[in-house]
């Protein structure tokens, strides 16, 4: 039976990737359908109740720069905000928020429900409608056929999901939800390279059974940071504290005693878990000399007593979970509300994707989130935004778009996945970004909002606010450049309390701001008036402090950009390019990089090989010209 309507874009899945994907397509004006097995779970946080952190808040603010939902929902649902790395320089600073699960989900639901062009339909997706090598729509559990120009799959951990608690296991997409087995089966018939990954989550604890008086209190920042460029502290609900406790020798003994019933250590689980988010049994085994690990005790919300003990994710049997939790300070009488578990699921080798997140094998089919081997709400949301955007562009018969590595963490994420693939759940870190000094969370809007506007993603309100901010930054920078302080003047005397040596000549305020010991607030008021908007002041200050480094990175980027702009034709036969080793021919033929820049980042591709490609392209080009 056919669905009564057809759509421009169908998004399958209502998690963090799915919501950003369907919102993006709808903002761009496409008739969009969100197909989910449960409308109630749209925007649910399946694992830890937190958004942001190092590398991750960068992605959240990039989504926000495109007018996405995640940052705004975080401001509405955040019950504790902190700036990490606050003393380490702006490029590596990151905002992290504990989120009230219910408030966060409600905020996402509110945004999704009020988005024009977007409709939902509750049914599991079982199959794809395929004609030749092009996807034409989806088939639901009840056999309903829905047609669309583009389909975005954001299946999370649901594809072939298996949940493990001790040696017991059962099929599930998340605790309490069924897996998507029919779709998994169907996708395995297509020529994708499928693998298995593993992730885990800790047991949850009832706060009424916990003694917080023996734990270390961890409050939020005094001046609460805000996640969205459009947000304010007024959006935030009541703010509360987190706590820290520790594992001890006794805990570790209990864990070692239960390993024979661990699915990880008895070989039941074949999927690979992340090295940076190991289960507690992994931590104890791999770092045997550490006698204690810190555990962050995070509230799940204002209206619930449930706690999330961050750092003891585990798939040990339930009796071992109880014993190990009771061995910790403050948890002696803890009541467990839900057991911890590990989940194994299918993912598809992201090397089979284009940078637009469209699959190479099937036109019109896009993948985003954990299906591509990533982990994290933020990584999923960012990919969802990109996949939704490109699904919409395809429906409008426009060229695909994606950010480069020097433009966004989203660009780094996608390029890493496509050029290197991944064999563990991929998480963002700032050390993955070679242009880290440019890709800051504070300037995500300056980097991306204009592009977002051009793509049709950014609404009127944000665009107006953005333009005003950008002009204010430019105005203030000009003022500092053209305001001079004379040696020996009263203003100079005021500054000399900060600098070691007296000023010997005339300096502009901008020159002075470049000195490490002087900040914007020290000098902006000396002549004229400092700007009121802290975001503007921050941008002016950072540009001054990083000037030399940014100039060097821009030069590096300029070099690279030329390679990025040189397209490698899809029909290029690498065996015909002389002088390439067999290994390189094979890699290039398999991965089919879209540009010379992507080719240059494939492991083993040498500068000499790039030269050969360039010469071949040039020859080819001339031949075409001659015959034309």
Least distance in angstroms from the C-beta of 608 to other proteins: 4
Paired residues of 388 in beta bridges: none
Neighbours of 513 (CB within 10 A): 23
Give the Cα separation of 175 and 339 in Å (integer): 10
CA angle 496, 500, 506 (to 5 degrees): 55
Judged by CB under 8 A, the residue of 578, 624, 627, 628 near other proteins is 578
Closest separation in Å from C-beta 69 to other proteins = 25
Residues 405-444 that bind other proteins (CB under 8 A): 420, 429-432, 434, 436-437
Candidates 332, 579, 583, 590; binder of other proteins (CB under 8 A) is 579
Q: What is the nearest approach in angstroms of other proteins to the Cβ of residue 276?
A: 5
The answer to whether 299 touches 98, Cβ cutoff 8 Å, is yes
Considering beta carbons, is residue 135 or 324 the nearer one to other proteins?
A: 324
Indicate whether 297 belongs to the interface with other proteins (CB under 8 A).
no
d(CA 359, CA 348): 10
The single residue among 233, 575, 589, 606 that binds other proteins, judged by CB under 8 A, is: 606
Binding mask 111-150 for other proteins (x = CB under 8 A): ----------------------------------------
Binders in 482-521 for other proteins, by CB under 8 A: 516
Among 294, 333, 486, 575, binds other proteins (CB under 8 A): 294
Q: Which is nearer to other proteins, 158 or 243 (CB)?
A: 243
Burial of 30-66, coded b for 16+ CB within 10 Å and e otherwise, reads bbbbbbbbeeebbbbbbbbbbbbbbbbbbbbbbbbbb
The answer to whether 346 touches 159, Cβ cutoff 8 Å, is yes
Binding segment toward other proteins, per CB under 8 A, in 100-108, 166-174, 181-189, 613-621: 613-621
Q: Which residues pair with 308 in a beta bridge?
A: 298
Q: Note whether 271 and 197 are within 8 A (CB).
A: yes
Supply the minimum distance, in Å, between the C-beta of residue 209 and other proteins: 23
Q: Which is nearer to other proteins, 87 or 570 (CB)?
A: 87
Per-residue contact flags (x/-) with other proteins for residues 69 to 108, judged by CB under 8 A: ---------------xx-xxx-xx----------------
Closest separation in Å from C-beta 559 to other proteins: 6
Taking the least distance from each CB to other proteins, the nearer of 289 and 397 is 289
DSSP string, 223-238: S---SSTT--GGG---
Biggest CA pair distance of the chain: 85
Instruction: State which residue, 188 or 618, has the beta carbon closest to other proteins.
Output: 618
With CA atoms as reference, report the closest residue to 199 among 398, 39, 354, 346: 346
Mapping DSSP to helix (H, G, I), strand (E, B) and coil, where does residue 559 land?
Answer: helix
Q: In angstroms, give the least distance from the CB of 277 to other proteins.
A: 6
Q: Which two tokens stand for residue 472?
A: 């204010």
Helix (H, G, I), strand (E, B) or coil at 450: helix
* Minimum gap (Å) between residue 381 Cβ and other proteins: 19
Question: Which residue, among 447, 390, 351, 389, has the nearest Cα to 59 in the 3D structure?
Answer: 447
| Selected range binding other proteins among 109-117, 284-292, 339-347, 470-478, rule: CB under 8 A | 284-292
* CA dihedral sign of residues 381, 386, 387, 391: positive
Interface segment toward other proteins; rule CB under 8 A; list 325-333, 370-378, 474-482, 609-617: 609-617
Q: How far are the Cα atoms of 95, 203, 206, 217, 225 from residue 297, in angstroms, in the given order?
A: 19, 12, 11, 10, 21
575 forms part of the interface with other proteins (CB under 8 A): no
d(CA 90, CA 520): 14
- Based on CB atoms, which residue is closest to other proteins, 84 or 530? 84
Tell me how far, at minimum, the Cβ of 495 lies from other proteins, in Å.
17
Sheet with strand 78-84: strands edge to edge:
50-52, 94-99, 78-84
Q: How far is the CB of 603 from other proteins (least distance, A)?
A: 8
Does 607 help bind other proteins (rule: CB under 8 A)?
Answer: yes
Listed ranges 191-199, 205-213, 291-299, 333-341: which one lies at the site for other proteins (CB under 8 A): 291-299
Contact set with other proteins (CB under 8 A): 54-55, 84-85, 87-89, 91-92, 275-278, 283, 286-287, 290, 293-294, 296, 310-311, 420, 429-432, 434, 436-437, 516, 546, 549, 558-559, 562-563, 565-566, 578-579, 603, 606-608, 611-612, 614-619, 621-623
């Amino acid at each position: 039976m056919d669905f009564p309507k057809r759509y421009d874009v169908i998004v399958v899945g209502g998690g963090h990737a799915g919501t950003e994907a369907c919102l993006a397509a709808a903002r761009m004006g496409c008739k969009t359908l969100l197909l989910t097995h449960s409308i109630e779970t749209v925007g649910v946080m399946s694992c830890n109740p937190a958004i942001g952190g190092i590398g991750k808040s960068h992605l959240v603010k990039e989504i926000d720069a495109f007018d996405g939902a995640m940052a705004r929902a975080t401001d509405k649902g955040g019950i504790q905000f902190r700036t990490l790395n606050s003393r380490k320089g702006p490029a590596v600073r990151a905002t992290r928020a504990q989120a009230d699960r219910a408030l966060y989900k409600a905020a996402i639901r509110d945004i999704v429900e009020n988005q024009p062009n977007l409709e939902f339909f509750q049914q599991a997706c079982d199959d794809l409608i395929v004609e030749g090598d092009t996807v034409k729509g989806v088939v639901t559990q009840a056999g309903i056929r829905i047609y669309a120009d583009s389909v975005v799959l954001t299946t999370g951990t649901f594809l072939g999901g298996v949940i493990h608690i001790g040696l017991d296991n059962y099929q599930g997409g998340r605790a309490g939800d069924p897996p998507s087995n029919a779709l998994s089966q169907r996708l395995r018939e297509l020529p994708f390279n499928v693998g298995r990954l593993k992730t885990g989550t800790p047991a949850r604890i009832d706060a009424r059974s916990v003694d917080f008086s023996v734990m270390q209190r961890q409050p939020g920042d005094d001046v609460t940071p805000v996640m969205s460029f459009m947000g304010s502290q007024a959006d935030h609900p009541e703010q509360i504290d987190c706590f820290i406790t520790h594992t001890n020798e006794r805990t570790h003994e209990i864990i070692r005693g239960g390993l024979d019933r661990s699915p990880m250590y008895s070989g039941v689980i074949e999927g690979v878990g992340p090295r940076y988010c190991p289960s507690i049994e992994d931590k104890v085994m791999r770092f045997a000399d550490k006698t204690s690990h810190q555990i962050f005790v995070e509230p799940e919300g204002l209206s619930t007593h449930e706690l999330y003990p961050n750092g003891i994710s585990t798939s040990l049997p339930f009796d071992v979970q109880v014993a190990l939790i009771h061995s910790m300070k403050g948890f002696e009488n803890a009541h467990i509300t839900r057991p911890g578990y590990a989940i194994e699921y299918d993912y598809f080798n992201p090397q089979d994707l284009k940078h637009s997140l469209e699959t190479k094998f099937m036109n019109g089919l896009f993948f985003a989130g954990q299906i591509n081997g990533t982990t994290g709400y933020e990584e999923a949301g960012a990919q969802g935004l990109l996949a939704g955007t490109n699904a919409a562009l395809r429906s409008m018969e426009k060229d695909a778009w994606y950010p480069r590595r020097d433009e966004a963490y989203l660009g780094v994420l996608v390029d890493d996945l496509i050029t290197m693939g991944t064999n563990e759940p991929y998480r963002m870190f700032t050390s993955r970004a070679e242009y880290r000094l440019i890709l800051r969370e504070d300037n995500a809007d300056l980097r991306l909002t204009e592009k977002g506007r051009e793509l049709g993603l950014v609404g009127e309100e944000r665009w107006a606010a953005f333009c005003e901010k950008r002009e204010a930054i430019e105005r203030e920078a000009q003022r500092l450049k053209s305001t001079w302080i004379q040696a020996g003047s009263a203003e100079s005397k005021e500054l000399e309390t900060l600098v070691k040596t007296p000023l010997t000549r005339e300096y502009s305020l901008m020159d002075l701001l470049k000195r490490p010991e002087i900040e914007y607030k020290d000098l902006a008021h000396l002549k004229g008036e400092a700007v009121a908007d802290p975001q503007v002041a921050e941008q002016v200050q950072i540009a001054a402090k990083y000037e030399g480094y940014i100039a060097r990175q821009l030069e590096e980027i300029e070099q690279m950009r030329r390679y990025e702009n040189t397209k490698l034709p899809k029909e290029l036969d690498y065996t015909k390019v002389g002088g390439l080793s067999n290994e390189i021919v094979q890699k290039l033929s398999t991965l089919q990089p879209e540009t010379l820049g992507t080719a240059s980042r494939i492991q083993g591709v040498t500068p000499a090989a790039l030269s050969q490609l360039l010469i071949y392209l040039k020859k080819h080009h001339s031949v075409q010209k001659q015959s034309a």
